[in-house]
Amino acid sequence: MNTSQISGSGQSQDLPVPLHIDRSWLEQLNNRLEKGGPWGDWRLAQLAIQGEEARLVTSFDELQCLKHLQGLSPLPHQLDTAHKVLFEMSGRAILADEVGLGKTIEAGMILKEYMIRGLVSKVLILVPASLVLQWVRELSSKFGIPAVAQKKAYTWHSDVVVASIDTAKRDPHKEFLLKQEYDMLIIDEAHKLKNKKTTNYQFIQKLRKKYCLLLTATPVQNDMSELFNLITLLKPGQLGRQGDFATNFVVGKRQPKNQDQLKDELAKVMIRNRRGEGPVHFTKRNVSNVSLQLSPEEQALYDGVTAFVKDQYKASGGNLSSMLSLVTLQREVCSSRDAVFLTLVNLSKKIPDESPLTAKVWELVTAIKAIKANTKAEKTIELIKQMNEKVIVFTEYRATQEYLLQYFQTHGLICVPYRGGMNRGKKDWMMDLFRGRAQVMIATEAGGEGINLQFCHHMINFDLPWNPMRVEQRIGRVHRLGQQKDVQIYNLSTSGTIEEHILHLLHEKINMFEMVIGGLDVILERFEKQESLEKSLYKLFLESDSNDEIRQKVSTLGQTLDQIKRQVDYESETVREEEA
């Protein structure tokens, strides 16, 4: 800058803080004087000044972002959180709200506020790959922040970049990123950074950042040291040295001591809002299990498939990995004959013609042909006609979906499909149709992003996934913030089949339909240290000889899950926010 031109310039020693003077204006003015213009428009100059006045930040600690955000009405706990992070925590915090309370909204508000104040311009947001687009979309639609999804190397140069952490930590990206200075770093699903020794952790530690937000619903998954590591990433020393932390706060691996003191310390870096506390109100979940009796033909098919699958399992010597398509068959038979048929056809293509299996497969196909009606579909129609409101029907199988679409339409119901494979535009269109004219949405996909169906409060589980997380995702589509009514959940299950046991496990044992589980993923992660729940279930069914045996084994499984749940509950009490 051209300090030399200034004579008698005021020196910054007059101020108790460093003063930076940008003198480019004088340089510009001199330039134009030399060239005789071009000169600016007075009206525009006045407009520029008015614009500056309109967005001037006149107070150190008053939230500005709200008046910039039309159409966003944050909940009280989200406002509180933003306020605390900005003005009490100086912009470095762990946002640890339970699932569904809007951590993204909180992070977006904080980011927006810093951007308005001109304290943040370069931002890096690291999230799991599957959430990148969702973040970009939310930031631009809800907050007017022009975020860019990282795709090519040059996108790193954008001001606000959303990228997957697994991409970012690899060269050549890593090398580039470590040379940058980020005004703000946001990490979603931050519990994945619990281990100090991982490359993810070390990479984040090295990134140069001014403000930093770590988002996680589950700050403690397995033991207390995870929390310590997370905080160390944010503010090393906040909980003292590693050794101090262990002696001061930890008894067992998962049991803290000096709880009050720990809570105080945690409250300085972490905010955890919980469901069922404060003003956030979730409506109830009402669950009805609809038990059905299969028709004799359907029962025959079910028994046939079960026997076939078990035989094959024995023949394979208990090797589960080669059995996957057969296990699928076992699950599909609870859904619809169409689903079974498709899998059988695919199976028969793979078996050589002369194999004895072919005969068995054809036997099953004959059994399918004998079936004239679908008991579940009939019941579903009956339910839908009774409620006479919008309803979403979930099934695991594409073939069942097609069948139901056609079946419902012949019965005069307007329905739309929803699948994971649809592109974004089609998904949005289906949502619009469902919001508008259609009464029924038949969906095969619940996870992923984008389906928020608060306007609908009935859901029917036509069949049940064996993975409880998927069940929770399904429910989460309708039972979320903004749902005004109690949510009615109908589970169809056919008695005397696997389904009955699965439902028993999910409903009675982990009680997952009624309680709002934030920590389900934690429970599952702990349980699945040995083997995935789905796999355990497959084995259990394939290896049991009688219904009673299945019942007994399922009950043991349920007890194990229940124990883990109690443990998790106990632990999360201790990381709970003090004001709660």
Contact 491, 289 (CB under 8 A): yes
Q: Of 84, 137, 235, 419, which lies in the binding site for another protein, with binding defined by CB under 8 A? A: 235
The DSSP bridge pattern shows strands 208-215 and 181-187 to be parallel
Asked if 420 interacts with another protein (CB under 8 A), we say: no
Least separation in angstroms between residue 128's CB and another protein is: 25
Give the binding range for another protein (CB under 8 A) out of 58-66, 152-160, 188-196, 333-341: 58-66
Q: Of 1, 57, 153, 515, which lies in the binding site for another protein, with binding defined by CB under 8 A? A: 57
Intra-chain end-to-end CA distance of the chain, in Å: 54
Which residues sit opposite 576 in a β-bridge? none
Number of residues that bind another protein (CB under 8 A): 87
Distances (CA, A) of 105 to 73, 78, 108, 109, 139: 10, 7, 5, 6, 9
Contact 326, 312 (CB under 8 A): yes
DSSP of 176-225: HHHT-EEEEEEESSGGGG--TTSHHHHHHHHSEEEEEEEE-S-S-SS-HH
Report d(CA 178, CA 219) in Å as an integer: 26
Q: Of 16, 252, 296, 356, which lies in the binding site for another protein, with binding defined by CB under 8 A? A: 16
> 194-213: which residues touch another protein (CB under 8 A)?
205-206, 208-211
Asked if 105 interacts with another protein (CB under 8 A), we say: no
Which residues sit opposite 367 in a β-bridge? none
Task: Please state whether 36 falls in left (phi above 0), alpha (psi between -120 and 50) or beta.
Answer: left
Q: Of 70, 73, 410, 423, which lies in the binding site for another protein, with binding defined by CB under 8 A? A: 70
> 160-189: which residues touch another protein (CB under 8 A)?
181
Binding mask 254-283 for another protein (x = CB under 8 A): ------------------------------
Least separation in angstroms between residue 27's CB and another protein is: 10
Asked if 412 interacts with another protein (CB under 8 A), we say: no
Contact 190, 204 (CB under 8 A): no
Least separation in angstroms between residue 119's CB and another protein is: 5
Give the binding range for another protein (CB under 8 A) out of 68-76, 97-105, 395-403, 566-574: 68-76
> 364-403: which residues touch another protein (CB under 8 A)?
none
Least separation in angstroms between residue 191's CB and another protein is: 22
Least separation in angstroms between residue 576's CB and another protein is: 24
Query: What are φ and ψ of residue 117, in 5° steps?
Result: -75, -5
Q: Of 1, 28, 261, 573, which lies in the binding site for another protein, with binding defined by CB under 8 A? A: 28
Which residue in 148, 72, 150 sits closest to 113, CA to CA?
72
> 488-507: which residues touch another protein (CB under 8 A)?
none
Asked if 121 interacts with another protein (CB under 8 A), we say: no
The set of residues, in sequence order, having a beta carbon less than 8 Å from that of 448 and lying 6+ positions away, is 130, 420
Contact 453, 479 (CB under 8 A): no
Asked if 322 interacts with another protein (CB under 8 A), we say: no
Contact 451, 443 (CB under 8 A): yes
Report d(CA 395, CA 332) in Å as an integer: 10
Asked if 158 interacts with another protein (CB under 8 A), we say: no
DSSP of 325-369: HHHHHHHHTTT-HHHHHHHHHHHHHHS-TTSHHHHHHHHHHHHHH
Asked if 155 interacts with another protein (CB under 8 A), we say: no
Give the binding range for another protein (CB under 8 A) out of 8-16, 187-195, 276-284, 359-367: 8-16
Q: Of 238, 289, 316, 358, which lies in the binding site for another protein, with binding defined by CB under 8 A? A: 238
Residue 206, both tokens: 């090295």
Give the binding range for another protein (CB under 8 A) out of 40-48, 222-230, 483-491, 522-530: 40-48
Q: Of 79, 99, 119, 148, which lies in the binding site for another protein, with binding defined by CB under 8 A? A: 119
Asked if 1 interacts with another protein (CB under 8 A), we say: no
Q: Of 34, 56, 260, 530, which lies in the binding site for another protein, with binding defined by CB under 8 A? A: 56
Give the binding range for another protein (CB under 8 A) out of 5-13, 380-388, 468-476, 486-494: 5-13
